[in-house]
Amino acid sequence: MADTPGAIVERAAIKAALKREFRKQATNPHRHASGEGGALFDPALQRFMSMKATQYDYFKPTPKASFMGLMFIAVPIIGYGLLLKRDKEQQEMRIRTGQVSYADREFKFL
């Protein structure tokens, strides 16, 4: 139904009218001459930026969101920390019990 020749012509007319209006406002010589800069106001762009700026206000704690927070934030931080702690403790124990010779020790002068 939307592909009838009448509908196509009608949509093309609307689109051409909008384009004409856009070109008319974007090439406004008085606005260009004043040198104040800026851009033609686009409500869709403004809505998008407002959405991004107020993203946190619309946050809802769902089980999926909590799960994502855990898996991608809490688990890597805590897991990586414990891994580093364990690695360092093993390293220290090897050095302090004399299993590493002084020549083999790295980063002595840091």
Partner 1 sequence: MLKLILPLVMLMKYMKVCSVVQIGLLIVSFMVGLMSYHDFYFYGIGFSLGIDSVSYIMILLSVWIMSLVLMASQKVKYSKNFYGSFIGVNLLLLICLLITFSSMEYMLFYISFEMSLIPTLILILGWGYQPERIQAGIYMLFYTLLFSLPLLGSLLLALNKSGSLVILLSQPFIYDSYLMMIWYFATVMAFVVKLPMYMLHLWLPKAHVEAPVAGSMILAGVLLKLGGYGLIRVLILFQFMGKESYWVWLSLGLVGGSLVSLMCLRQVDMKALIAYSSVAHMSLVLCGIMGFSWWGLSGAVVVMVGHGLCSSGLFCLANIVYERLGSRSLLMSKGLLSFMPSMGLWWFLLSVSNMASPPSLNLLGEINLIISVVSWSKLTMFGLVSLSFLSASYTLYMYSLTQHGLFFNSLYSCCSGKVQEYMILFLHWMPLNVLLLNSNLLLISSLIKMKCVKR
Min CB(16)–partner 1 separation in Å: 17
Cβ burial of 5 (10 Å; 0-12, 13-18, 19+) is: exposed
Q: Which residues in the 9-48 window bind partner 1 by CB under 8 A?
A: 22, 26, 28, 31-33, 35-40, 42, 45, 48
Q: How many residues bind partner 1 (CB under 8 A)?
A: 35
Q: Which tokens in the block code for residue 21?
A: 């209006």
The first and second tokens of residue 63, run together, are 């089980």
Do 65 and 47 form a contact (C-beta atoms < 8 A)?
Answer: no
Query: What residues make contact with partner 1 under the rule CB under 8 A?
Result: 22, 26, 28, 31-33, 35-40, 42, 45, 48-49, 52-53, 72-73, 76-78, 80-85, 87-88, 91, 106-107, 110
